[in-house]
Structure 1
Amino acid sequence: MFTVATFLVLFFVHDQLGFSEAQLQFGFYSETCPPAESIVRDVVHQAVTRDPGIAAVLLRLHFHDCFVEGCDGSILIKHDVNDDERFASGNAGLGGFDVVDEAKSELERLCPGVVSCADILALAARDAVAEAKGPFYKLPTGRRDGKIAAMSNAAHLPDVEDSINSLKSKFREKGLSDKDLVLLSAGAHTIGTTACFFVMPRLDAQDPTINPEFFQVLRSKCPHGGDVNVRIPLDWESQFVFDNQIFRNIQNGKGVILSDSVLYQDNNMKRIIDSYVRTNQSSKANFAADFARSMVKMGAIGVKIGVQGEIRRICNATN
């Protein structure tokens, strides 16, 4: 449920959304399907109530959708031959498809052929963040669904083993800044888990950037030769709560995955991370508001509008 603690972030002005203003609209479904956003919100609330971990899963699903064909729901398509985008190695472990399908089913019952799967996915990610006590932000909608979902198109997703320069390059290709990289990559990891598979290479190499005491904690959870599918929190202190603890962890050498830790080796990224954990409240950056801005910005990448794409009848198949 939403409370004052969710930091309602509803103040975006048009100049902050200049790149998407002409493409997407606030309240896009206000006349064609007025309950659209509340339906998605209710479905997400029920899903997170059953499993708090699903909040991070939905957030990750939206991120992975936007970084391939743009935010067009292509990640949701599933053909019989399993050569779709969702089966690319960089999308291993993705979930939350059933939540999107549930929302779509209810919307098709009430407003058939109106609300796109791409918008459902973007709204679900927004609502999932709010359920984890993060910001609830006003989100422009009007995305249409893509028709292409080739595995090969997902070959260059940001990866846990990427260098800082590679991460910067991949984000800049999508029109995202270094600040967006910190917020959407490390910042999003304030909730959720990862598999030992992604941690063991750091441990086996005895990565010197890992805090020695934390190294032992990680090794106890992910022992050499152990089960690579065991899942551990990305934010060791508060894995189900959206807060700035992830940045303190990175500062202190307690970043769980390499792609979070390398951010602190870059001077500009270091300044951004430090800005979210200053003790002086007057100079402390507003993580919730900045994260919301970056989410809106990411949600406008490569969107299809007007007559582009389609409105799918079901989310896992094109019409």
Structure 2
Amino acid sequence: MLKLAAGLIRMLFHDCFVEGCDASVLLDGNDTEKTAPINSNLIGYDVVDDAKQAVEAICPGVVSCSDILAYAARDSTVKLNGTGWTVQGRRRDGLFSCADAAENELPLPTFNVSQLIESFARRGLSKTQMVILSGSHTVGVGHCDKFIERLYNFSATHFTDPSINASYAQQLKKDCPQAIFNTTLEIFMDTITLGEFDANYYKVLSEHKGLFTSDQSLFDDRSTR
């Protein structure tokens, strides 16, 4: 349940951040957002498809896929012991989807604070909203290839990123050896309470155990701490 619930939350973010919350990430076809490399690990498409089919059988043409995805992400948060919120409906589904838009607009795990602020500002989101939204990583996972550069040959002066807790870095190196690593291995971002939607993601950052550069930089930079 954890993997699917977290996947639906992530899918909603990836959908909303590109062309707005219009379910364009669900569209099939060549060069759609769904085919973008940055979306290659998204899961939960079948959940939205099944829900849409069930709803259409009762009230055809009324509830959009974008509404269903928003409801699914909200309910997933509650399932993981997070706080729910009121979801306003009546969204319209988008008819256009572009892989390049996803690649160019979604923030990367290698972003520093300045890049993150600029990326979120283009969506009309403040620094505070950015930090709050990043908290959803409390139920997130990362793959070795997304942070491997922090562990080995980080810079001319530091072999390993000095912002990583030393013992945590050693554990990550065991999970992701330099010579060859498992690209499908999933590392939990919140090492305190696995599978619960809580605030411990921020405590992890205070212990310098942020998995991605984009996570740890939120704590290390005074403007977002």
Q: State the TM bucket, normalised to the shorter chain.
A: over 0.9
Which whole-Å CA distance do the structure 1 matches of 2:22 and 2:110 have between them? Answer: 26
Deviation at 1:67, TM superposition (A): 0.8
Partner secondary structure for residue 53 of structure 1: helix
Counterpart-to-counterpart distance in 2, 1:162 and 1:70: 21
Structure 2 counterparts to residues 271-290 of structure 1, below 5 A:
none
Match of 1:232 in 2: 187
Which fold has the larger relative contact order, with Cα–Cα distance below 8 Å and residues 6 or more apart in sequence? 1
**Which whole-Å CA distance do the structure 2 matches of 1:239 and 1:199 have between them?**
20
1:166 Cα offset (Å): 0.9
Deviation, 1:70, is 0.6
Between the aligned partners of 2:133 and 2:40, the Cα distance in structure 1 is 19
> In the alignment, residue 33 of structure 2 is paired with which amino acid?
E
Moved over 6 A (4+): none
Which residue is equivalent to 1:257? Answer: 212
- Across the aligned residues of Structure 1 and Structure 2, the Cα RMSD in angstroms comes to 1.1
Q: Deviations over 1:38-96 (max 9, x none)?
A: xxxxxxxxxxxxx22211100000000001111000000011x3x11112222231111
**Residue of structure 1 in register with 2:157 after alignment:** none
**Residue in structure 1 matched with residue 162 of structure 2 by the alignment:** 208
Normalised to the residue count of structure 1, the TM-score between the two structures is 0.66
Output the CA distance in 1 between the equivalents of 2:79 and 2:165: 31
- C-alpha displacement at 1:251, in angstroms? 0.6
User: Partner of 1:282 in structure 2?
Assistant: none
SS in 2 for 1:162: coil
Give the alignment partner of residue 137 of structure 2, picking from 170, 186, 189.
Answer: 189
Which position in structure 1 is the counterpart of 2:173? 219
**How far apart are the structure 2 equivalents of 1:183 and 1:267?**
16
The answer to whether 1:130 aligns with 2:78 is: yes
Match of 1:168 in 2: 117
Name the residue aligned to 1:244.
199
Structure 1 letter corresponding to 2:218: L
2:8 aligned with 1:55, yes or no?
no
Asked if the contact 1:192/1:239 (under 8 Å) is kept, the reply is no
Partner AA of 1:254 in structure 2: K
Shift, 1:203, TM fit: 0.9
The code of the aligned residue for 2:130 comes to L
Number of residue-to-residue matches in the alignment = 217
Q: Secondary structure at the match of 2:151?
A: helix
Aligned position for 2:49: 101
Name the SS for the 2:177 alignment partner: coil
CA distance in 2, matches of 1:214, 1:263: 18
Residue 31 of structure 1 corresponds to which residue in structure 2? none
Where do residues 85-164 of structure 1 align in structure 2 (5 Å cutoff)? 85-154=33-102, 155-164=104-113
Aligned partner letter, 2:68:
I
* 3-state SS of 2:145 partner: helix
Q: TM-score, normalised by structure 2?
A: 0.93
| 1:215-243: CA deviation from partner (whole Å, max 9, x where unpaired) | 11111111112112211101112220011
**Structure 1 CA distance for aligned equivalents of residues 97 and 40 of structure 2:** 15
The one-letter amino acid paired with 1:108 is E
Where does residue 297 of structure 1 map in the other structure? none
CA contact (8 A) 1:56 1:191 kept: yes
> Could you tell me which amino acid in structure 2 is paired with residue 111 of structure 1?
C
Identical aligned residues as a percent: 39
The answer to whether the 8 A contact 2:109-2:147 is kept is no
- Segments of structure 2 that go 5 or more residues without pairing to the other structure are 155-159
Rounded Cα–Cα distance in structure 1 between residues aligned with 2:221 and 2:189? 20
